[in-house]
Chain A
Amino acid sequence: MKQSADQVLGTIAGTWIVARREIRDQLRDWRILTPIIILTLFFPLLMNFTAQQAVDFVTRYGAPIIGDRLIPFLLLIVGFFPISISMVIALESFAGERERLSLEPLLATPLTDSQLYLGKMVASLVPPLGAAYLGISVYLVGLMLRIDWRPPPQLLLQVLMLTTIQAIVMVSGAVVISSLTTSVRAANLLASFIIIPVAQLIIGESVIMFWARYEILWWIVVALSLIALVFVRMGLRLFNREELLGKEIDVIDLRLAWQRFWRAFRNGAMTPIEWYKDVLTSSLPSARWAILITTCMLAAGYVIGLQLAETFTLPIDLVSLDAIGEALKNPELSFGSLPGFDWRWVLYNNVRALALATLLGAFSLGVLAEILLMVPIGIIGYFAGNVALAGGETLHFLAALVLPHGVLEVPAMIIAGAAILRLGLAALSVPKGESLGQSWLKSLAEWARIGVGVVLPLLICAAAVEVFITPRIAVWLLTG
């Protein structure tokens, strides 16, 4: 207990040593000081003036509500502009030191990785956040004096928390980028991955504030806090002295990447049978937690679908089992006779959906892939719910239309979802001593092993069953 407390205190002390030097250095740099001063003092006064003019204008035309909504929004903007500088400072943190060749002496000291990373983060946060709070204060004092406006305490707290957490998200992301790039130029280019989502977030927040749905801002605070935690963890995980120092140029070595991928894909197997056994005994068991999570997510999708059926109920004549049975009797509508509905078409659609899920999941920590995979299950739940509301047996419906191929397709989706989840989370679990690229290629190889070895065979079988067997079972069960 005492040891871990000492460790925490030691980390804080080292972090502060790094941060203090950087903060002092920033406060000596007129290129940083000038915009901070302008944004802290001049900009809030300008916003004061704008707010007053806007309020006067809209009041004249009998629309004071616009002014009421504008003032809190400007409060957010006044805080946001100074913190945007924090990202510039953070992007420069490691890449800039690298360019100035001052990084190696720092890396040779007994500072831990956490102390270095967090020190840089704190240093990037403190001056801009200080400026943001000061700017907000100047803006508020101006409003009190000019139009006697006082913010509701909850709104003020929300704005302060949003400002702080947005700064943390931007800085933690920017420090990750800075520690992974070899130059400030490259870091600035990659910063668009942060700037664009944050800009969209601000637009969203402005809509929410004009809409006066302030309670939603709390959810944004919670979501941003989680993202900040993920970024900080990712930064600590990816922080690698060797990469920082050893990486001289950012080039794509496709040949080396392919070699690494192929080595991980084969995993030492000499024959296809050996490889297949390895996939089943090594890759699949190692994905068990991800399989469990994906199963829970898909189950949640099904439940959501069921609940939606109660809200958006379909007409009984469309979803009763009798109506479905009647429809199946019509040869024009039977699945097998639909143009292009053969097993290859079904397989192609399923593979395409999983490819899209992989693309989305790879850049969203797996989250978007899970959501995408929940959709078809949710639709099944929705129809099952409607069947139940129409007086039919849910199990009967599922057994007729879903389960014959679903027993293969749903496990394939779950396993694929698990592999995508692991691929998306690869950036958060980079083994020490490995670069992000190496770790990601390994995860990609794992994803491909599971995809080729397990998911694809299941999908092929499911497609065949869906085309050749499911319609017959459906006709048999639903038409008597």
Chain B
Amino acid sequence: MRITGIAYLSWKALRHRPFRSLLLIGTIALTLYFPRALQEFISRSEEVLSARARSTPLLMGPRGSSIDLTLNALYFTPQELPPLDYSSYETLARKDLGNTIPIHSRFRSGNSPIVGTSLEYFKLRALSINAGRLMTRLGDCVIGARLAESKGLKPGDTITSSPENIFDLAGVYPLRMRITGILSPNRTPDDHAIFVDLKTTWIIEGLAHGHQKLSQAEIMGSSRNSAGRILRANASVVEFNEVTEANLGDFHFHGDYGNYPLSSVILDPSDKKHRALALAFYQDPAIPQQIVIPATAVEHLANTLFATQRLALVAFSLLGIAALALALMVFLLSFRLREREMRTYGKIGATRLAILCLQGAEVTIIAVAATIIAQIGVTLTRVAAPDLLTRLIS
């Protein structure tokens, strides 16, 4: 019995019925792929989440779900918790427990989060500029490498924030931002984000704005009272939707800074003692903020994911058994339909073993092809897991 001859005959039989063969390969590959890919994805996600969480020592934010707070600060997911007052940030900064980095990640440009923060954020995450420079004034932004690549953006281009609700006339207006730099890729959510100065997010929020000078005579409809001293702006006053060198001085803030919103504050304590002090301070239930250890929050999230994975694996296993039984039935039916062909092999002089090998080789070729495809899929899933995770949760 020639193994190559047997393998060749099996290959020919499979090639003669390509649809059936591909269907079998696909069914078996998917049966093998899903449970392995789910395990790989969750395991890799846990690694990626933990790595980012470990690089974020402490997180201060409004009371509520620690996971929501952590995911918003680390992955810029939509903000689920109420905003934090800027005064809370100032209070924490004044305690001098370590480096404090504000995060305001409420707004988006398309699917990309706009993250208002300070330059300290770039140091904490070890983000370097690949092209251009960091932002230097209101309305400037630095964007992640993947976002720049996907949209073909470069320094000097502009990107516009998305209005939150186009029917809300008094709501958030789009702000066109100047791109000053592109970050080097680091395969984290930062690759997809738009980083601006905190104050720029307040412009988007409408807490700060810039408009024509009301004293300009050409403003139609501007009025003075009888004394001629009070200016009343009306709808004809042009509001700037972009910060330029020319109108930079016309942007101004209304109200008290302390009431301005933030999403959270990253605290990088100077040492263990300051870390303990920070944790102790926010344990007081009277304080409306909480302090979270992101690694612990992620661990809770991972435990939930692993519990879900176990349930999913049971479901996949049952489906897998059904699919494999179906594939086995297809094989058996196929061999039954080809009984005459097998009889011919026997008459010519093939031994029973050779005929069994021939049938076994067909099953093996299908199984090996399915395993290879499933393995490639699992490897790709593992490689793509960080990006996939970012897309799924942000």
Are A and B associated in one complex?
no
Interface residue ranges, B against A (CB under 8 Å): none
